[in-house]
Amino acid sequence: MNFADKYYLDSHGEPTREPESIRYALGVLLERFPSMPVEEFGSLRLKEVREAMIDKNLCRNLINKHTGRIKRMFK
C-alpha cells in the first residue's frame, strides 16, 4: 500500500482514489482468506472472492474492476 499511495498521484501531485479502491479490494480478499499464503491463492480462490463481492451486492462493473486490481497485485 505504501507503493500505491506514492504511485497513484494526479498531475498536481495529489493522491487519486485508486489506493482507496485497492484497499477495498484487499479488504474483501483478506476477509475471505486472512492468512492464506500467496502461493496457495489461485483462480478458484479468486472466484470465491468475486462471489463474496456479489454477496455484498456490488455492481458488476465494480466487481470486475476490483477483480482486475487483485489480479494485477498477484502478477
Q: In this predicted model, what pLDDT tens digit does every residue of 15-56 receive, in sequence order? A: 999 999 999 999 999 999 999 999 999 999 999 999 999 999
User: Model's pTM, two decimal places?
Assistant: 0.86
Whether the predicted pLDDT of 3 surpasses 90: yes
Whether the predicted pLDDT of 75 surpasses 90: no
d(CA 35, CA 53): 19
Of 33, 10, 16, 5, nearest to 70 (Cα)? Answer: 33
Grid cell of 50 as nine digits = 468475486
Of 35, 65, 32, nearest to 51 (Cα)? Answer: 32
Judge whether 28 and 14 are in contact, CB under 8 Å: no
